[in-house]
Amino acid sequence: MTKQDVLKQYFGYDTFRGGQEEIIDALLAGRDVLAVMPTGAGKSVCYQVPALLLPGITLVVSPLVSLMRDQVTQLVQMGVPAAYLNSSLTYRQYLLALDRAREGRYKIIYVAPERLDTEGFQSFVRSAQISMVAVDEAHCISQWGQDFRPAYLNIPDFVDRLPQRPVVGAFTATATSEVREDIQRLLELEAPLSITTGFDRDNLYLEVCRPSVKRVELLARVRERPGECGIVYCSTRKNVEEVCQFLQSSGISATRYHAGLEPEERQQNQEDFLFDRVQVMVATNAFGMGIDKSDVRFVIHYNMPKDLESYYQEAGRAGRDGAEARCILLYSGQDVRTAQFLISQSEPSEQLDPETARQLQERDLGRLKQMTFYCCTRRCLRQYILNYFGQSAPDYCGACYNCLHNFQEIDVGEDARAILRCVAETGQRFGAGLIAAVLCGGENEKIRRYRLERERTYGALAALSQREVQDRIRFLVDEHILELTDGQYPVLRCGERAEDVAYSDGPLMMKAVREERPAADRRRAEDSPLTERQQALFQRLREERAHLARLRGVPAFVIFSDKTLREMAAAQPRDLRQLQNVGGVGSFKAEQYGAQFLEIISDFQETAAI
């Protein structure tokens, strides 16, 4: 079998997503990997596919019980022999699972880091062939990460003691360089393929809103999406209690989750949400890591989180299935003060010396500032986030609130010609900042030194701000009308298309931030809308899915995602072969459930024909 076959047959997907193929190839070739991918990008496929192709067993070290259980349930549904070993098993269950593992019944075994050192597990791995160790949520090994977990530090020792060193893959969504370096060093990765995939999640709609009364806004947003499930994040337990009660008293099916609840209640509430028995989960940030529910259609932040890392991770729990989903942040100035207070009060961990503790606090305040800027900017929110994570992005995404409301199309033909003239007459040797300053008629040391105030284009765009001129320059670079050299001090030069523009007098349209009126287009159409009939079929398919999920005692999305059912309703396959052309339908699932879903579709078509 090839990796493509595995992807198709087990997972039901036709193509790999960005980064997946490279990672899989490296692991199969025996090269360690350090992969940074945003939540929802598809990390698990990166180790699950090679696990099925490598000869022996793959161990997945994972920090959370619920995460393991979900992943294993999903794998078993796809026909992959998998199991988990953690504290949720009774001792007998644990021994039984180990016995089966010894018999070679599992291809993939999820294990908590604390288990690695135990006697039973050690004796098992000594006699087994371990081909790969995949470390999920690898940032837990670093004290710079958000969820430091000391037991992760035992992993390299564990790997060393294996009879044969397996290939090691580390996976995380945390991108900062400190954490990345820690992972590589502490996990003792050997010349790993280090890969950071794009952080864009183009199915997520982003919005920040400043409501006068948050509750009213929240209720309206939840009601906007009847029947769709979502998460509402609050910063404190008290807020969780209040908001949850408010939603319930307004007739919304909601439940809550925070560290102050009894473990049984937490577990129960989480499952109610997972199994679609309630629509909305109101929670603190304690809820989420390990929640793999792929059909979460909205994540609303009732309070601003303390940094963009947390925000994007939490918001990223929406739309993991790839279908359109909304991430809305309800902002108020009070949130900033609360966050400042929390940072100043936070107890430094005992393992830190005072100097490091002080640095950490300073870093946290810096991050909070960036988070606050996100809430206040009128520019593209996606661009803001991507830039924050060190990735460049166009000024306009067309799928965030700001792009849809604050942008307009303007003709920058004349401005572009002025910029080109300025770049040319100053000798193509200055950067964007200085060129903008010259065009705006600014004054600074460099302008005086190079006597740039004598250039003909000096002050030619004085009607614009330097920022607006820089926006135009960036746009011209994107359009290859200008080009930016590499190196430490990038310099602007005329690009491939410079002449087309310089010698024409036609318009050149650019999207730019505007102050008021709304615009109407968007980059990514919502998933192509279903017709009314298809919508009706989609509902029937969802009912069937709910029925099957109840029968088997698994969450509905484990059977098929919303995106898969939507595609099914549009394509209306007639046989198993056609059914497998639908994204998310692998052979095992087709065999398990195909007949039931095909029957619904053909019944539906017959009633339509009458």
Query: Rounded to the nearest 5°, which phi and psi values hold at 596?
Result: -60, -45
Compute the distance between CA of residue 315 and CA of residue 580 in angstroms, rounded to an integer: 31
Q: Is 562 in the site for ligand ADP (CB under 6 A)?
A: no
- Binding window for ligand ADP (CB under 6 A); candidates: 10-18, 100-108, 256-264, 434-442: 10-18
Q: Figure out which of the listed residues 3, 10, 13, 417 binds ligand ADP, where binding follows CB under 6 A.
A: 13
Compute the distance between CA of residue 409 and CA of residue 386 in angstroms, rounded to an integer: 23
C-beta of 109: minimal distance to ligand ADP in Å?
18
C-beta of 571: minimal distance to ligand ADP in Å?
16
With beta carbons less than 8 A apart as the criterion, state whether 280 and 230 touch. yes
Q: For 319, which DSSP code?
A: T
With beta carbons less than 8 A apart as the criterion, state whether 37 and 43 touch. yes
397 binds, among Zn ion, ligand ADP, none (CB under 5 to 8 A by kind): Zn ion
Q: Figure out which of the listed residues 24, 26, 41, 289 binds ligand ADP, where binding follows CB under 6 A.
A: 41
Q: How far is CA 545 from CA 49, 102, 538, 565, in A?
A: 26, 35, 10, 9
How many of the chain's residues bind ligand ADP (CB under 6 A)?
A: 17
Q: How far is CA 581 from CA 15, 513, 574, 586, in A?
A: 12, 42, 11, 9
Report the relative pairing of strands 193-196 and 82-85 from DSSP bridges.
unpaired
C-beta of 153: minimal distance to ligand ADP in Å?
23
C-beta of 562: minimal distance to ligand ADP in Å?
10
Compute the distance between CA of residue 408 and CA of residue 511 in angstroms, rounded to an integer: 5
- Binding window for Zn ion (CB under 5 A); candidates: 9-17, 50-58, 333-341, 399-407: 399-407
Q: For 147, which DSSP code?
A: S
C-beta of 67: minimal distance to Zn ion in Å?
31
With beta carbons less than 8 A apart as the criterion, state whether 280 and 257 touch. no
DSSP 3-state of 324: coil
Compute the distance between CA of residue 336 and CA of residue 372 in angstroms, rounded to an integer: 7
C-beta of 287: minimal distance to ligand ADP in Å?
15
Is the Cβ of residue 74 or residue 402 nearer to ligand ADP in the bound state?
Answer: 74
For tokens 């898969």, the residue is 564
9 binds, among ligand ADP, Zn ion, none (CB under 5 to 8 A by kind): none
Instruction: Please name which of 564, 423, 413 lies closest in space to residue 492, comparing C-alpha atoms.
Output: 423
Per CB under 5 A, contacts with Zn ion among 369-398 are 380, 382, 397
String of contacts with ligand ADP for each residue 45-74, x by CB under 6 A: x-----------------------------
- Binding window for ligand ADP (CB under 6 A); candidates: 41-49, 143-151, 414-422, 431-439: 41-49
With beta carbons less than 8 A apart as the criterion, state whether 186 and 142 touch. yes
Helix (H) or strand (E) holding 385: helix 381-388
Rg (the chain; Cα; Å): 27
Q: Is 294 in the site for ligand ADP (CB under 6 A)?
A: yes
Q: Figure out which of the listed residues 51, 112, 400, 423 binds Zn ion, where binding follows CB under 5 A.
A: 400
16 binds, among Zn ion, ligand ADP, none (CB under 5 to 8 A by kind): ligand ADP
292 binds, among ligand ADP, Zn ion, none (CB under 5 to 8 A by kind): ligand ADP
Q: What share of the chain is helix, strand, coil (3-state, %, to 5)?
A: 50, 15, 40
Compute the distance between CA of residue 430 and CA of residue 372 in angstroms, rounded to an integer: 33
Instruction: Please name which of 244, 246, 300 lies closest in space to residue 272, comparing C-alpha atoms.
Output: 244
- Binding window for ligand ADP (CB under 6 A); candidates: 38-46, 156-164, 214-222, 447-455: 38-46
Q: Is 39 in the site for ligand ADP (CB under 6 A)?
A: yes
Residue type, 556: A
Report the relative pairing of strands 509-513 and 407-411 from DSSP bridges.
antiparallel
C-beta of 39: minimal distance to ligand ADP in Å?
4
Q: Where are the beta strands (DSSP E) in 277-406?
A: 280-283, 298-301, 325-330
Compute the distance between CA of residue 303 and CA of residue 288 in angstroms, rounded to an integer: 16
Q: Is 403 in the site for Zn ion (CB under 5 A)?
A: yes
Q: Which residue is nearest to ligand ADP (CB)?
A: 42
42 binds, among Zn ion, ligand ADP, none (CB under 5 to 8 A by kind): ligand ADP
39 binds, among ligand ADP, Zn ion, none (CB under 5 to 8 A by kind): ligand ADP
Two tokens at 473? 């320059």
Is the Cβ of residue 42 or residue 495 nearer to ligand ADP in the bound state?
Answer: 42
- Binding window for ligand ADP (CB under 6 A); candidates: 40-48, 443-451, 547-555, 588-596: 40-48
Q: Is 315 in the site for Zn ion (CB under 5 A)?
A: no
Is the Cβ of residue 292 or residue 395 nearer to ligand ADP in the bound state?
Answer: 292
Q: Figure out which of the listed residues 19, 40, 113, 145 binds ligand ADP, where binding follows CB under 6 A.
A: 40
C-beta of 464: minimal distance to ligand ADP in Å?
42
- Binding window for ligand ADP (CB under 6 A); candidates: 42-50, 55-63, 231-239, 428-436: 42-50
- Binding window for ligand ADP (CB under 6 A); candidates: 33-41, 49-57, 147-155, 395-403: 33-41
67 binds, among ligand ADP, Zn ion, none (CB under 5 to 8 A by kind): none
String of contacts with ligand ADP for each residue 319-358, x by CB under 6 A: -xxx------------------------------------
403 binds, among ligand ADP, Zn ion, none (CB under 5 to 8 A by kind): Zn ion
511 binds, among Zn ion, ligand ADP, none (CB under 5 to 8 A by kind): none
Two tokens at 166? 């397996």
Residue type, 242: E
Is the Cβ of residue 156 or residue 316 nearer to ligand ADP in the bound state?
Answer: 316
Per CB under 5 A, contacts with Zn ion among 532-591 are none
C-beta of 526: minimal distance to ligand ADP in Å?
18
Cα 312 to its chain centre, rounded Å, is 7
Burial 442-454 (b: 16+ CB within 10 A, else e): beeeebeebebee
With beta carbons less than 8 A apart as the criterion, state whether 431 and 473 touch. no
Two tokens at 527? 């998933």
| DSSP H helix total and E strand total for the chain | 26, 17
Q: List interacting residues with Zn ion (CB under 5 A).
A: 380, 382, 397, 400, 403
Q: List interacting residues with ligand ADP (CB under 6 A).
A: 13, 16-17, 20, 37, 39-45, 292, 294, 320-322
